[in-house]
Structure 1
Amino acid sequence: MIMHFQLKPLFENKNIPGWNFSFYYKKERYTGIYHQTGKIEWTTNTPEQEEIEFLTSQIHELMLYHVYE
């Protein structure tokens, strides 16, 4: 389960899409950039390959809730 999900705009002009995000998963902190296209660019601690699909799905859902609501 993703915990302590945080989100910040990537640009000062908040009308330009792009967000920095961070969260904890299995006691490890992950950060990345969520691009307008939905592409996720991991900036620290890239998750294990078998976890990426699950985490990507969870992040997309959180983004829909927090940004596109």
Structure 2
Amino acid sequence: MIQHFQYQKLYSRDLPGWRFSFTYMGEQVQGIYHKDGKIEWTSAAPKKDQDKVVQQIHDLMLFHVYGD
């Protein structure tokens, strides 16, 4: 389960792109969420259940960014 999910705009203007971080199974994970939904890992990607984690990131971004 993803814990302590945080995100911030990647650009100061209204261009799409967000930097995110969270804790997963005791490991700090970081990445960039692009406007097309592509995830670019800036730390080591989660090794276990990566497909599940990616889906959770998509859900969280839809809720927090696009759901406003």
Shorter chain as denominator, the TM-score bin is: over 0.9
Read off the aligned partner of 2:10 and give its amino acid letter: L
After TM superposition, what 4+ stretches of structure 1 lie above 6 angstroms from structure 2? none
Percent identity (aligned): 51
Write the deviation string for residues 33-59 of structure 1: whole angstroms up to 9, x where unpaired. 0000000000002221x5220110000
Task: Give the Cα–Cα distance (whole angstroms) in 1 for the partners of residues 49 and 38 of structure 2.
Answer: 16
Q: Secondary structure of the residue that 1:44 maps to in structure 2?
A: coil
| Unmatched segments (≥5 aa) in structure 1 | none
- Tell me the TM-score normalised to structure 1 length: 0.92
Q: How many residues align?
A: 67
Write the deviation string for residues 6-65 of structure 1: whole angstroms up to 9, x where unpaired. 00100011x1000000000001000000000000000002221x5220110000000011
- Tell me the TM-score normalised to structure 2 length: 0.94
